[in-house]
Amino acid sequence: MADGLRLDTSGHTLTATIDAGEGNLFTREMMDALIEAIGDAGRTEEVRFVRLRAEGDAFCMGRAKGGATPDELRGMARRIATVNETLRATPLTVLAEVNGSAAGFGVGMIGASDIAVAAEGATFAFPEIKAGFAPAVVISWARYMLPARLLYDMVSTGDAIDAGRALEAGLLTEVVPADGLTARVEDRIARLESVDAFALREMKRFLVFTRAMDPATAAQASVDTLVFSGLRVIGKF
């Protein structure tokens, strides 16, 4: 647990609620707590989902300022990259409940989620360049998710896009009215709870395992997973 981040487990869901005041900026301590909580939850059979949500008007407008030496800056960059990789690589299904504006690190968490549902008024920006930073961490993942011309425009100007554009670009799963956001995320979790827990975890693991493979290699890798799953279904494993 860390100031600004509430971590609660209920049923099959670990809920991480960002409640850090104006902008919901993430501190080092919040990053470390989130990494540890997801890692611990992923090693259990009971927890199946991670739900990222926030209090206030913003989802997360980035990280708290800090770091004045090369080692401090390197440590922060590594933490950011580790949060993103933790969300992507966990066998748990990660759902982002985007209630409002997101920027920088906040958009990174959304991009690393498996499902991202946003309120209609949410906006998304990579403002690092406005502060003189080259947005390298952003580019490291966003180049594989967003259209190249949109990404270059966003990182070079720092200007925000709206939820509709983010949906069209593939950053979001869906956009809903603000007053229906919480219910929609809960509906999605309820639907996923009806899916076989083992099969859902294996699906996520396979997505992670094959993400750097070419299609032919991924197809070959799928054989063992299919056989293993099939034997389990017919009761021979």
pLDDT number for residue 234: 72
Tell me, yes or no, whether 17 and 84 share the same domain.
yes
Tell me, yes or no, whether 185 and 208 share the same domain.
no
Mean pLDDT to the nearest integer, 117-143:
94
Q: At residue 74, does pLDDT exceed 90?
A: no
pLDDT number for residue 237: 55
Mean pLDDT to the nearest integer, 90-106:
97
Q: For residue 41, what pLDDT band results from cuts at 50, 70 and 90?
A: very high
Read off the pTM.
Answer: 0.92
Tell me, yes or no, whether 120 and 187 share the same domain.
yes
CATH number reported for the structural domain that contains residue 153 in this entry? 3.90.226.10
Radius of gyration over alpha carbons of the chain, in Å? 18
Q: For residue 73, what pLDDT band results from cuts at 50, 70 and 90?
A: confident
Q: How many domains does the chain have?
A: 2
Tell me, yes or no, whether 203 and 169 share the same domain.
no
Q: At residue 236, does pLDDT exceed 60?
A: no
pLDDT number for residue 216: 87
Tell me, yes or no, whether 159 and 220 share the same domain.
no
Range of the domain at 201: 196-233
**Owner of token pair 């100007």:** 157
Tell me, yes or no, whether 170 and 215 share the same domain.
no
Mean pLDDT (the chain, rounded): 92
Tell me, yes or no, whether 188 and 209 share the same domain.
no
Tell me, yes or no, whether 188 and 217 share the same domain.
no
Cα separation, 169 vs 161, whole angstroms: 10
Beta-carbon contacts of residue 211 (< 8 Å; ≥ 6 apart): none
Tell me, yes or no, whether 132 and 210 share the same domain.
no
Q: At residue 67, does pLDDT exceed 70?
A: no
- Pick from 94, 115, 103: which is nearest to 167 by CA? 115
Tell me, yes or no, whether 149 and 216 share the same domain.
no
Tell me, yes or no, whether 144 and 201 share the same domain.
no
Tell me, yes or no, whether 187 and 225 share the same domain.
no
User: To 5 degrees, how large is the angle CA 105–CA 108–CA 111?
Assistant: 160
